[in-house]
């Protein structure tokens, strides 16, 4: 079909997120690294992954595990060297796989040379690279803004006699994006990697980079209940998030990428179920794929109640307002959120797999979800994540080592190594590992592999239109069903039973795949077993 030949890779493709500390340890220190990732590319190739997004690999004191960057153009020694990176990139490209890096431009590490200079005196040339303000007359911070990891967003710097702003940890000072020198320095770092052949970036908290120039107080959140709610949500972030000027800034970012062919810009924006908020980040239709982000993250499937009606309502609305130059995307897990199998259970995690791999839009798979990895209970005294240590909401449980096989440490690290986070015991007790699941015709991994193969080999599933189906079309309550490719030759219907009851649909077709991996063939009227999803050809 003509559409496919012109469709860029990030529309057709499947993107896999690797948390580098936890994917594969080749050095034996209990922490994953770049050589380890390169060693496992054959697995990702077998699975059918088109692009790999790596969480940050740059030099960093690791106060926020790499989201505190001390040098934008280097590699942390724990992960390897620039040569190791180049090796990974060329091995990926040899398999026609893309590599996407994580850019963290809202803040640097407090160990970054820019910040050290900025701190050194109130009149040094880098002072205005960060956001410095005097104390209030009583010594209090300049305003009431709270950090996402707890406490005020302001930290007093005794030596230079002012406060600096940090939206996250005090080790993560916010850059001043009103300053053109900052913009140039970061754009040059992006070019450094794009010149090396990197295929794109995922940009961290991109909607928070512009702050109110007057730094006005945020208003109280009327729904906030002390003791019940996350203390960092006490104020509405009206003046510190999604400010006027952000779209111009993102457009400028995009222009850097457009100096190169075929690169992708993915942006982390607010977690929202408002489709209009998400589609606002595609920019204008003056270019084939918009002028801002190619893929503004859609986290709705993480936030919505896991049920047919709210998910259908969201997807229908998101599809309906998607501009012609925009392209949807779907995320169910990442390094900041509870894993999907833990949130919805193993049976519904299969529904999630069929959902993201058959909807119209780029699917993001978080490493390990394809084998049904679950969050690992970690006692508070062993928390590594600063968010867990500060406000009790730890992200360690979803960041544990990848489970490769049934050898010690699940094959992630040599037996003698002490892994940086514990390995889930279910690699041994329940066979939750790549090696075991590859041998099992009914495993989660087999389901992912079948779904990915189908998506890759059927244009209608990758790029075809999305068709709403409802009760009139024979969709029972508790089931979310939709069509793909109705406007083209190959037509598919996907029917997902979100309930634990048997459901009878008023339509049939040829069963291509069931999430239970145990049936195919033609049916006149589809009966869905509890928690079953079925892909039908019409």
Residue sitting closest to ligand GLC (CB): 67
- CA-CA distance, 295 to 247, in Å (whole number)? 14
Residues near ligand GLC (CB under 6 A) are: 64, 67, 104, 168, 204-205, 268, 335-336
Q: Which two tokens stand for residue 327?
A: 């392209």
Least separation in angstroms between CB 64 and ligand GLC: 5
Give 440's strand partners: none
Least separation in angstroms between CB 107 and ligand GLC: 7
- Determine which helix (DSSP H) or strand (DSSP E) holds 88, and give its type and residue range: helix 82-94
- CA-CA distance, 502 to 505, in Å (whole number)? 10
Q: What are phi and psi for residue 222, nearest 5 degrees?
A: -65, -25
- Determine which helix (DSSP H) or strand (DSSP E) holds 510, and give its type and residue range: strand 509-514
Closer CB to ligand GLC, 130 or 404, in the complex:
130
- Asked if residues 149 and 391 have their Cβ atoms less than 8 Å apart, the reply is yes
Closer CB to ligand GLC, 22 or 409, in the complex:
22
CA quadruple 381, 385, 387, 393: dihedral positive or negative?
A: negative
Closer CB to ligand GLC, 264 or 447, in the complex:
264
- CA-CA distance, 526 to 508, in Å (whole number)? 5
Closer CB to ligand GLC, 331 or 535, in the complex:
331
Closer CB to ligand GLC, 67 or 201, in the complex:
67
Closer CB to ligand GLC, 208 or 294, in the complex:
208
Least separation in angstroms between CB 204 and ligand GLC: 5
Least separation in angstroms between CB 336 and ligand GLC: 5
Closer CB to ligand GLC, 111 or 336, in the complex:
336
CA distance readout (Å), 162 to 40, 140, 154, 254 = 48, 11, 10, 34
- Asked if residues 186 and 72 have their Cβ atoms less than 8 Å apart, the reply is yes
CB half-sphere exposure, 223, CA atoms < 13 A: 4
Q: Which two tokens stand for residue 520?
A: 């195919």
Q: Which two tokens stand for residue 297?
A: 């993250």
Active-site residue (options: 204, 319, 398, 459): 204
Least separation in angstroms between CB 308 and ligand GLC: 29
First to last CA, the chain: 19
Least separation in angstroms between CB 168 and ligand GLC: 5
Work out the number of other CB atoms within 10 angstroms of the CB of residue 113.
Answer: 12
- Asked if residues 71 and 62 have their Cβ atoms less than 8 Å apart, the reply is no
- CA-CA distance, 419 to 30, in Å (whole number)? 4
- CA-CA distance, 154 to 146, in Å (whole number)? 8
Work out the number of other CB atoms within 10 angstroms of the CB of residue 136.
Answer: 11
Closer CB to ligand GLC, 205 or 452, in the complex:
205
- CA-CA distance, 136 to 208, in Å (whole number)? 24
Least separation in angstroms between CB 268 and ligand GLC: 6
Least separation in angstroms between CB 517 and ligand GLC: 33
Pairing of strands 533-537, 509-514: antiparallel
- CA-CA distance, 15 to 447, in Å (whole number)? 17
Residue 459 a catalytic site member: no
Least separation in angstroms between CB 182 and ligand GLC: 17
- Residue 195: closest CA among 89, 41, 59, 96: 89
Active-site residue (options: 255, 259, 430, 527): 259
Closer CB to ligand GLC, 132 or 149, in the complex:
149
Per DSSP, the residues of 198-237 read --EEEETTGGGS---TT-PPPPB-TT--TTTS-GGGSB--
Residue 204 a catalytic site member: yes
Residues designated catalytic = 204, 259
């Amino acid at each position: 079909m003509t559409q496919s030949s012109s469709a860029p890779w990030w529309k057709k493709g499947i993107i896999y997120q690797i948390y580098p500390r936890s994917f594969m340890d080749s050095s034996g220190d209990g922490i994953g690294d770049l050589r380890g990732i390169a060693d496992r590319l054959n697995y990702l190739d077998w699975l059918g992954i088109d692009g790999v997004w790596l969480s940050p690999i740059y030099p960093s004191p690791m106060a926020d595990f790499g989201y505190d960057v001390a040098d934008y153009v280097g590699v942390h020694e724990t992960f390897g060297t620039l040569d190791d990176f180049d090796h990974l990139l060329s091995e990926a490209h040899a398999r026609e796989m893309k590599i996407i890096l994580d850019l963290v431009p809202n803040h640097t590490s407090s160990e970054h040379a820019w910040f050290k200079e900025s701190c050194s005196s109130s009149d040094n040339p880098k002072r205005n690279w960060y956001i410095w303000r005097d104390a209030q007359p009583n010594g209090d911070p300049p305003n009431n803004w709270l950090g996402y990891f707890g406490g005020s967003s302001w930290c007093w710097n005794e030596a230079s006699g002012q406060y600096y702003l940090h939206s996250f940890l005090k080790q993560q000072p916010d850059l001043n994006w009103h300053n053109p020198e900052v913009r140039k320095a970061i754009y040059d770092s992006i070019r450094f990697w794009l010149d090396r052949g990197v295929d794109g970036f995922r940009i961290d908290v991109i909607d928070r980079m512009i702050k109110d120039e007057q730094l006005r107080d945020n208003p109280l959140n009327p729904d906030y209940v002390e003791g019940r709610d996350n203390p960092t949500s006490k104020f509405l972030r009206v003046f510190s998030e999604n400010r006027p000027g952000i779209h111009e800034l993102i457009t400028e970012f995009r222009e850097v990428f457009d100096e190169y062919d075929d690169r992708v810009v993915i942006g982390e924006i607010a977690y929202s179920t408002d489709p209009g908020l998400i589609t606002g980040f595609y920019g204008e239709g003056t270019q084939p794929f918009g002028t801002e982000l190619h893929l503004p993250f859609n986290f709705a499937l993480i936030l919505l109640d896991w049920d047919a009606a709210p998910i259908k309502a969201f997807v229908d609305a998101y599809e309906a307002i998607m501009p012609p130059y925009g392209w949807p995307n779907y995320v169910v897990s990442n390094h900041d959120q509870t894993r999907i199998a833990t949130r919805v259970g193993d049976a519904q995690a299969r529904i999630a797999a069929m959902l993201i791999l058959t909807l119209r839009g780029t699917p993001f798979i978080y490493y390990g979800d394809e084998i049904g990895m679950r969050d690992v209970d970690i006692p508070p005294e062993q928390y590594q994540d600063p968010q867990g240590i500060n406000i009790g909401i730890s992200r360690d449980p979803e960041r544990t080592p990848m489970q490769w096989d049934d050898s010690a440490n699940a094959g992630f690290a040599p037996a003698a190594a002490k892994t940086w986070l514990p390995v889930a015991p279910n690699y041994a007790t329940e066979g939750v590992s790549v090696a075991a699941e590859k041998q099992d015709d009914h495993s989660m991994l087999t389901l992912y592999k079948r779904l990915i193969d189908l998506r890759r080999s059927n244009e209608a599933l990758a790029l075809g239109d999305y068709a709403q189906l409802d009760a009139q079309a024979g969709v029972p309550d508790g089931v979310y069903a939709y069509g793909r490719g109705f406007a083209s030759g190959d037509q598919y219907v996907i029917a997902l039973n979100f309930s634990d009851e048997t459901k009878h649909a008023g339509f049939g077709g040829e069963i291509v795949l069931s999430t239970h991996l145990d049936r195919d063939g033609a049916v006149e009227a589809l009966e869905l077993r509890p928690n079953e999803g079925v892909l039908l050809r019409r």
